[in-house]
Structure 1
Amino acid sequence: MKCIIVDDEPIAREGIRLLIEEIPQLELLKNFNNAEEASVFINNTAVDLIFLDINMPGINGIEFAHSIPKQTLIIFTTAYSQYALDSYDVDAIDYLVKPIDSVKFRKAINKAIIYHTLLINEEKKSLETIEDEYIFVKSDRKYFKINLEDILFVEGLKDYVIVQMEDQRIITRMSMKAIYELLPSHIFFRINKSYIVNKKHINSFDNNDVFIKHYEIAIGNSYRDEFFQMFVNKKV
């Protein structure tokens, strides 16, 4: 599981980092001393789990938790036990009071791993099968066969994705991360945090947008260099 630490205390961040290093299922991507910088990071990078302090300058942990994607899990790490009830409002996996006991930390991680596995399995059920030429997508209690070459783009909308074709759109419950990992990378490219495009259907592009049929889709800042390297330098 890919995780980050958000805590304004350097000693606390170091303590959590050491606990994370003891658990092979966890991969620490980065740590932050404020919620604002962490918010920018998770908008551009897939994060499975956040170790989140509550009492921080600026945006506090509870406020930040309300803006975190539902598929990203939260374990609160704080010196104040009185916030425990508030943590239930954002469906936190656990609430650990500093100094954090290693046994309680491991128990919290086990709960996170179990819940994370359940989320992945739920998303996989929406994509029943995927082959070289087509996928089956569950929508409205039915499975629809979609030829990969017919997909113009995939759009993320909260807990759902919209598979857009020229004359049809299909909405299914799953995350952008899940569908992007399943779609073949030689055909599809994530152009920003909310869109995955079929490279074969790109008609034109400029410095800021790609154009597919009559659709105009913005190129995200964190995806721009890779996009131009792929389409300009390699002349794909």
Structure 2
Amino acid sequence: MNCIIVDDEPIARQGILNLTAKVPDLIVKGLFKNSNEARLYLEKNVVDLIFLDIEMPGINGIEFAKSISKKTLVIFTTAHAQYALESYEIDAIDYLLKPISEDRFLKAATKAIEFNYFLSDDFEKSSFESIGENSIIVRADRRIYKILHKDIFFIEGMKDYSIINSKDNKIITAMNLKTILSQLPPQFFKRISKSYIVNYHHVLSVSPHAVHLQGIELPLGNTYRNEFINEFIKKKD
């Protein structure tokens, strides 16, 4: 999987390069100190993944990510936590806060590698057979899965696909979040941001900018916050 590193700080670029060396599937093709340098490289080269800083001279990382091909995956690497929600709104694979630990980096890199495989021609794209009153029937990997609604923790949208995260499986399907949500029972499932749908049954708590499940924290978008919090409170009564 080809990747590049874009960061205006030499020490940060070297640190990410050192971390990529621990992931054999990542092949670093270039290190760049700003978005303009990276853009020139992208005009002539195919890149699967960008490790992208946000606050840089000139065009910042958020604006740069919005301007590149949707086929190029992005993992933001930044010292500023306030950009987390906006990064998910533009379908970033992950958001890493500096200083970046090795475990956290490996988790993000693995997610990117898996999703890159899902996008490849080698992966058999899955599809819904049906969404019933109590379950979803999904065809994936030459199998048919029946996933009970109660076992779905959350559904993550990524590009034009959706990843169903359940108790037993993580399955990607070639349907977007809007289409899936329109067919799921609204008394159980609610959209919390551009990129996430959650199952109320697995929500433990809600904070102003996040929804908390067991061991998982998902961003709560400004557009969805008030409605979700109000409905969450009602369901807990």
Question: Residue 101 of structure 2 aligns to which amino acid in structure 1?
Answer: D
Query: 2:21: which partner in 1?
Result: 21
Preserved contact between residue 76 and residue 87 of structure 2 (Cα < 8 Å): yes
Are residue 118 (structure 1) and residue 118 (structure 2) matched?
A: yes
Query: 1:31: which partner in 2?
Result: 31
Q: How far apart, in 1, do the equivalents of 2:112 and 2:49 lie?
A: 8
Q: Structure 2 vs 1, CA of residues 124 and 46 (structure 1 numbering), >3 Å: closer, same or farther?
A: farther
Tell me the TM-score normalized by structure 2: 0.51
Are residue 109 (structure 1) and residue 109 (structure 2) matched?
A: yes
Q: Structure 2 vs 1, CA of residues 122 and 77 (structure 1 numbering), >3 Å: closer, same or farther?
A: same
Q: Structure 2 vs 1, CA of residues 120 and 107 (structure 1 numbering), >3 Å: closer, same or farther?
A: same
Q: How far apart, in 2, do the equivalents of 1:117 and 1:24 lie?
A: 15
**Structure 1 runs (4+) greater than 6 angstroms displaced:** 122-125
CA shift digits 1:150-184 (9 cap, x unpaired) = xxxxxxxxx9xxxxxxxxxxxxxxxxxxxxxxxxx
Q: How far apart, in 2, do the equivalents of 1:88 and 1:99 lie?
A: 20
Preserved contact between residue 74 and residue 92 of structure 2 (Cα < 8 Å): yes
CA shift, 1:89, in A, is: 2.1
Secondary structure at the aligned position of 1:107 is classed as helix
Preserved contact between residue 117 and residue 123 of structure 2 (Cα < 8 Å): no
Query: 1:66: which partner in 2?
Result: 66
Preserved contact between residue 4 and residue 31 of structure 2 (Cα < 8 Å): yes
Matches within 5 A, 1:210-229: none
Q: Structure 2 vs 1, CA of residues 49 and 84 (structure 1 numbering), >3 Å: closer, same or farther?
A: same
Q: How far apart, in 2, do the equivalents of 1:79 and 1:24 lie?
A: 26
Query: 2:4: which partner in 1?
Result: 4
Query: 2:95: which partner in 1?
Result: 95
Question: Residue 86 of structure 2 aligns to which amino acid in structure 1?
Answer: D
Q: How far apart, in 2, do the equivalents of 1:2 and 1:21 lie?
A: 13
Secondary structure at the aligned position of 1:121 is classed as coil
What are structure 2's unaligned runs of at least 5 residues?
Answer: 126-159, 161-237
CA shift, 1:121, in A, is: 3.3
CA shift, 1:117, in A, is: 0.6
Question: Residue 71 of structure 1 aligns to which amino acid in structure 2?
Answer: K
Q: How far apart, in 2, do the equivalents of 1:89 and 1:62 lie?
A: 10
Q: How far apart, in 1, do the equivalents of 2:124 and 2:99 lie?
A: 38
Secondary structure at the aligned position of 1:44 is classed as coil
Q: How far apart, in 1, do the equivalents of 2:9 and 2:69 lie?
A: 24
Preserved contact between residue 7 and residue 13 of structure 2 (Cα < 8 Å): yes
Query: 2:53: which partner in 1?
Result: 53
Secondary structure at the aligned position of 2:70 is classed as coil
Query: 2:80: which partner in 1?
Result: 80
Q: Percent identity?
A: 58
Q: How far apart, in 1, do the equivalents of 2:123 and 2:60 lie?
A: 31
Question: Residue 102 of structure 2 aligns to which amino acid in structure 1?
Answer: S
Question: Residue 77 of structure 2 aligns to which amino acid in structure 1?
Answer: T
Q: How far apart, in 1, do the equivalents of 2:8 and 2:118 lie?
A: 31
Tell me the TM-score normalized by structure 1: 0.51
Secondary structure at the aligned position of 2:86 is classed as helix
Q: How far apart, in 2, do the equivalents of 1:43 and 1:105 lie?
A: 27
